[in-house]
Structure 1
Amino acid sequence: VKITQDDVVDRQTVLHIELEDDDMDPYLDRAYQRVVQRVNVPGFRKGKAPRRIVEQYFGRESMLNEILDSMLPELTNQAIDEKDLDAVGLPSIEMRELDPFQFSATVPLRPEVDLGGYSEIRIDKNQPKIEDDAIDSRIEQLRLSVATWEPTERPVEIGDMITAQIKGTVGKKTILDESDAVYLVNEEIGRPFPGFSEKLVGMEADKSSQFDLSIPEDFADPDLASQDASFEVTIKDIKARVLPEIDDAFAKGIGEGYETLNDLKEEVQKSIETEAEEESTRTHRESIVGALMETAKVEMPALLLQHEAEHMVEEQERIVSQANMNMDDYLVSLGKTREEF
């Protein structure tokens, strides 16, 4: 096996690998073992034809293609070991020729890191800060989490939950058509469009209402951004959120063994203090890393960054797929292209 190496540039190097006929023999034999079990060679029982006959019948290049997936990484690893390279990540392999057998492998090398004057970095840790109303705010969150929804006869208000039949159009194009759609009337959610919830306020059950809505220019779907939409809405039912009184019964209803409201507040305070301390520690560490990055010099192979970026995209696609979403639709919701992502 003939191995030559290019100069190291930006923590990457290229290995050029060429095999002589004698070097090819064990790999051709491995390919023969695969191929002979499935090809029918006239005059021989399946699996019994000699390698020379199979190679003539099947073709040398076709036999090699049978084992390239294992042969190339194997030879690349051998070349890396022979050249004693401090490789990290997966090499990028490119086939040159099959006869003579030549290929090249771009090998990412371990990044070089110069920490600079890291020993001089001094960053004080800020003491955790807890807002005066932190406990009351957390109690209110718990209160909202155990609230019930009860039907009401009054018109829609912010904070209600409705079931409705909704049809939206832009010109002659239908952009929304839902029956028995359930919506939380909340100004901050912006679903299905910013400003939609505010238009629902004051509507009554079993009465059809119509309204127009201008879709913002920064809306995620560029085909709808800056368009004027018309909606026809029929409210089927309205439910109001019923919040429990903040008392001992409320504390017991949380289900964590609290006997009194004071017990609950004490535990909430401990939890808030722990969270504040953890946040202070995290911020302190991030500040140290940020200061270190300003003084450090890191030479990173481009191939390593490329592989990491591809891995992150694949992982995100997996998560999106588990949520029964299409990646392109997900990107539209973010207002980004694949290249920007």
Structure 2
Amino acid sequence: MKSTVERLSPTRVRINVEVPFDELKPDFDRAYRKIAQQVRIPGFRPGKAPARILEARLGRGVVLDEVVNAAIPAKYSEAVTSADEVNPIGRPDIEVTEIADGDHLAFTAEVDVRPEISLPDLDGITVTVDDVEVDEAAVKEELDNLRGRFGTLSGVERPAGDDDFVLLDLSATVDGEPVEEASTSGFSYQVGQGGLIDGLDEAVRGLSAGESATFTSQLVAGEFAGKDAEITAAVTAVKERELPEADDEFAQLASEFDTLDELTDDLRTRLGQVRRMEQVTQARDKVLEALVDATDVPLPESVVTAEVESRVHDAVHAFDHDDDRFTQFLDAQGKSREEFDADVRTEAERNVKTRLVLDALAEQEQVSVNDQELTERIIYQAQQYQMPPEEFVRRIQEAGQLGAVYSDVRRSKALIAAVAAATVTDESGGPVDLSDLIGSADESDESDESDAEQADAEQVDTEGASEADAAAVETAEESADADQTADDAAGTDGAGATEAEAPVQPEGGRAASDA
């Protein structure tokens, strides 16, 4: 087989391949066996008809189609493997250019490839993160949260105010038509917490048991997503939460400590740990941003397009892929479809650029991923999707995404190397040493769990944790959410990986016939 590579642009190549028919003999043998099993020819048992009889009965073209369609993917992969510095990151566009029967097969494959990227010196990157500060107000808030876990609710005969709990019966209509999925009864809600239905807090604040209010709000999901609904909230009970006194007796009830001072000191220590985790998150985000901003990266158009299409698909999916309803929703948010598409394009380009930079960094730092690291990432993602690890592995294998998970881990380790090499200072101007928290890209204990979760796992025995421990863990998990946001910005969600990380599968299905 002969192959040559033409560079069409910094991100795209054309591979020209010519395969002698002598190399296709195994493919012809397989084609004859396959066709023989599929046709019935009088006088021959299934699968036993000779090649010349099959060609006489079906025509040479049928055999050639089967041979070419089966051979092209393998020959394409062979050509890519033999080519120097060609790293495909998308599906190839394959065209059969010549079938000289008995002599050779020729085809071309155009495919996007990883561009050559010149990275800045990592030790030249300087970022500033917040100081580690734990003020007494934060400690008091944590103590109050812990007291809230032991609080009791009691009914009151007065209008509901902020922080009160109300039992609600909710119903909704759109143009007079009831919306079943937006209706519920006996729903417990804390006034002032927000995040449920826009306008709900204003509607129930000041209502007593037995009173109701109707207000207009926009539905964000379901059949009527994006439409205004008339929502009625009926209060059936108002309850206030009574907190236990913050004293030594409470400390003994809620923790392993004997005094309130000991409990408070422990909460202060744990908050300091959380603030350090927040420094890690900040440093990682800022180093990544600085690294990407300082790097010139030509973007493969097909990869960007795939990213855009994936994001648009996910956005419209909530509206049952009804573009008109989605456009109405955007209009209600004060954004046009054109503005949405432009924003998605910008985000897609940034994400693709980030992934390419991290991949180039991983190559430069010679980052590798071992079996333990890959297994840890798979187990963590399976937990995120609330699936057994075995089922999660089966699904990502069927979807061809195992390689994407590997890439995720590799990028995470590359980013750790960048943070370790960068200069990180706090707002006070002092150097920040994060080595005890982020480890290094060479360590084998890296997992997708955020640094906040890892640190608390070392400090807390979650099986026998006290309520004080649980409160600290909960705070750390909030930091972990921010940590996950950084992963998302780096494109490190294996289950959502785009075609850039998907295994390359040439689409040669109708190549011979098209030729």
Same-fold call, TM > 0.5? Answer: yes
Counterpart Cα distance in 1 of 2:278 and 2:272: 10
Q: Specify whether residues 52 and 133 from structure 1 end up closer, same or farther in structure 2 by C-alpha distance, changes over 3 A only.
A: farther
Counterpart of 1:14 in structure 2 is: 14
Change (3 A) 1:72 1:328: farther
Aligned counterpart, 2:251: 251
Structure 2 CA distance for partners of 1:89 and 1:214, relative to 1, 3 Å = same
Counterpart AA for 1:47: G
Deviates more, 1:157-166 or 1:56-65: 56-65
1:106 aligns with 2:115: no
Distance 1:303 1:172, change over 3 A: closer
Q: Which residue of 2 aligns with 1:267?
A: 266
Larger % of helix: which? Answer: 2
2:51 equivalent in structure 1: 51
Structure 1 residues 311, 84: closer, same or farther in 2, change over 3 A? farther
CA distances 1:180-230 after superposition (whole Å, capped 9, x unpaired) = 2514143342423x222221233343x36343x2447xx757977695x54
**Distance between the aligned counterparts of 1:327 and 1:55, measured in 2?**
52
One-letter amino acid matched to 1:5: V
Gaps of 5+ in 2: 345-515
Name the residue aligned to 1:287.
286
1:284-323 matched pairs, under 5 angstroms: 284-305=283-304, 309=307
Measured after TM superposition, the shift of residue 60 of structure 1 is: 5.5
Query: RMSD in angstroms over aligned alpha carbons?
Result: 4.2
State the distance in 2 between where 1:149 and 1:61 align: 80
Taking the aligned partners of 1:58 and 1:235, their CA distance within structure 2 comes to 77
- Give the 3 Å change call, closer, same or farther, for CA 124–203 of structure 1 in structure 2: closer
Identify if the C-alpha distance between structure 1 residues 16 and 168 changes in structure 2 by more than 3 Å, giving closer, same or farther: same
Q: TM-score by structure 2 length? A: 0.52
Q: Quote the Cα distance in structure 2 between the aligned partners of 1:62 and 1:310.
A: 39
In structure 1, the partner of 2:212 is 209
Q: 1:165 to 1:304 in 2, by over 3 A?
A: closer
In the alignment, what sits opposite 1:189? 194
Query: Partners of 1:83 and 1:275 in 2: how far apart?
Result: 49
Q: Hey, what's the Cα distance between the residues in 2 that align with 1:259 and 1:27?
A: 79
SS in structure 2 of the partner of residue 202 of structure 1: coil
Mean CA deviation greater in 167-176 or 65-74: 65-74
Cα distance in 2 for partners of 1:280, 1:161 equals 35
Cα distance change of structure 1 residues 122 and 82 upon mapping to structure 2, 3 Å threshold: closer
The structure with more strand, counted as a fraction of residues: 1
Indicate how the Cα distance of structure 1 residues 77 and 173 shifts in structure 2: closer, same or farther if over 3 A, else same.
same
Q: Deviations over 1:109-131 (max 9, x none)?
A: 34322235665544566542333
1:167 aligns with 2:171: yes
TM-score (norm 1): 0.73
- CA distance 1:125–1:64, change in 2 (3 Å): same
CA shift at 1:260, angstroms? 3.0
Write out per-residue CA displacement over residues 217-244 of structure 1, whole angstroms, 9 at most, x where no aligned residue: xx757977695x5444443444433433
User: Separation in 2 of the partners of 1:109 and 1:91?
Assistant: 10
Q: Tell me how far 1:78 sits from its aligned partner.
A: 1.1
Local SS of the residue matching 1:133: helix
Deviation at 1:159, TM superposition (A): 2.8
Secondary structure of the structure 2 residue equivalent to 1:36: helix
Q: Following TM superposition, by how much is the alpha carbon of 1:153 offset from its aligned partner in structure 2, in angstroms?
A: 4.5
> Is the deviation greater in 240-249 or in 92-101?
92-101
Check the 8 A contact 1:11/1:300 in 2, yes or no: yes
The answer to whether the Cα contact below 8 Å between 2:165 and 2:238 also exists between their aligned partners in 1 is: yes
**Letter matched to residue 296 of structure 1:** T
- Superposition deviation, residue 139 in structure 1: 1.7
- How far apart are the structure 1 equivalents of 2:263 and 2:279? 24
Report if the CA contact (8 A) 1:252-1:258 is conserved: yes
Corresponding residue SS for 1:264: helix
Aligned residues: 326
Q: What code does the residue aligned with 1:184 have?
A: Y
What secondary structure does 2:170 align onto? strand
CA distances 1:19-65 after superposition (whole Å, capped 9, x unpaired): 45444432232233334344433322122222333455556565566
Cα distance change, pair 158–83 in 1 and its aligned pair in 2 (3 A)? same
- 1:66 & 1:263 partners in 2: Cα distance? 77
* 1:87 aligned residue: 87
- Structure 1 position 144 matched with structure 2 position 148: yes
Unpaired segments ≥5 residues, structure 1 = none
Per the alignment, residue 180 of structure 1 pairs with: 185
What SS does structure 1 have at the residue aligned with 2:258? coil
Counterpart secondary structure, 2:133: coil
